[in-house]
Amino acid sequence: SQTIHQWPATLVQPVGSPLSLECTVEGTSNPNLYWYRQAAGRGLQLLFYSVGIGQISSEVPQNLSASRPQDRQFILSSKKLLLSDSGFYLCAWRSLAGIYNEQFFGPGTRLTVL
Amino acid sequence: AQSVTQPDIHITVSEGASLELRCNYSYGATPYLFWYVQSPGQGLQLLLKYFSGDTLVQGIKGFEAEFKRSQSSFNLRKPSVHWSDAAEYFCAFNDYKLSFGAGTTVTVRA
């Protein structure tokens, strides 16, 4: 069966520090991968998605970047965090094998920038 | 533009009472529609999905949803709510990505 992991689960970082959040998927090949942010009291905002290794699409301009160095690994990064980067970050994967194409979500990372 | 709208930001319901969460979509063709649930501090879990066929879809945890093309709606229902159903619920439709509604927070009172 497929599983998706995210770490760390929680993170407290000072403004201006770098960031690296990791997401890995097991049990599937060639998934589409997604990074979402959920700010307090707000819905889900798609940040990045990737259809393959090294292929990243950005949905909104921001202080963050994403990379996909391996088929089942998706990394969210920042060189200098802002207060506004605080939120709950969710990674998701989707298989193109089935017709329904639902996304499966990881447990999330709670990021607090102070 | 293609989108989903959840008109209700917050709903409070008594335990044992019925629940209905509204979702309206705007899409040129028949969309793939989903309902997800998010417990506090957790990721999202898929409750049910609709692609085609029977317009009444059964999901997990006793939830169901009905697709109504004439109303562009995909409302989620549960006949008897349990305290563990307190969570945030998201409606979504699938294009090349999932587009989510803003979410409805459900509070269950004893």
At CB < 8 Å, which residues of chain A contact B? 34, 42-44, 46, 49, 59, 88, 90, 92, 99-108, 110
Note the Cα A105 to chain centre separation in Å.
10
Nearest to B97 among A49, A100, A108 (CB): A49
How many residues does this entry show for chain A? 114
Among residues B50, B51, B48, which one has the least CA distance to residue B61? Answer: B48
Q: How many contacts, defined by CB atoms under 8 Å, are there between A and B?
A: 45
Compute the CA torsion angle B41, A74, A26, A43 (nearest 10 deg). 30
Burial status of residue A27 (CB atoms within 10 A of its CB: 0-12, 13-18, 19 or more): exposed
Residue among A46, A59, A90 minimizing CB distance to B44? A90
- For residues A30 and A78, give the distance between their C-alpha atoms in angstroms, rounded to a whole number: 25
Residue B95 distance to chain A (closest CA, Å):
9
**Of A60-74, A87-101, B11-25, minimum mean pLDDT range:** A87-101
pLDDT in tens, A1-34: 889 999 999 999 999 999 999 999 999 889 999 9
**Residue A103: its chain B contacts at CB < 8 A?**
98
Residue B98 confidence (pLDDT) above 70: yes
Averaged pLDDT score across all residues of chain B: 92
pLDDT 10s digits, B72-90: 999 999 999 999 999 999 9
